[in-house]
Amino acid sequence: MKLFSKMKKQEYDALLNDIKKTKLALESAYSNFENVIDPDLIDCYIYEVNAIQKRYKFLLKQAKEMDNDYSTV
């Protein structure tokens, strides 16, 4: 039983690490968007920001579900 719990903890820690990386990527994409003037690059960063936001939202949802699973155990 402890092995299962340890594996879940590792998954949760990896998920939190992925959330941190995604947050940094989002900040970088916002910064890049604010510093370009070429219309093609503006479009590129708009798509990038939107994609990263969706990933961030997905990861937060995963973390919330995992957190709920921990509190029921």
One-character DSSP codes across 25-45: HHHHHHHHHHT---HHHHHHH
Q: Which residue has the higher pLDDT, 15 or 72?
A: 15
| Distance from C-alpha of 54 to C-alpha of 6, rounded to nearest angstrom | 29
Write down the domain spans for the chain.
15-72
| Distance from C-alpha of 29 to C-alpha of 33, rounded to nearest angstrom | 6
Query: What band does 72 get if pLDDT is binned at 50, 70 and 90?
Result: low
pLDDT tens per residue, range 49-59? 999 999 999 99
Residue 1 pLDDT > 50, yes or no?
Answer: no
Mean pLDDT for all residues in the chain: 89
The predicted model scores a pTM of 0.81
Query: What band does 2 get if pLDDT is binned at 50, 70 and 90?
Result: low
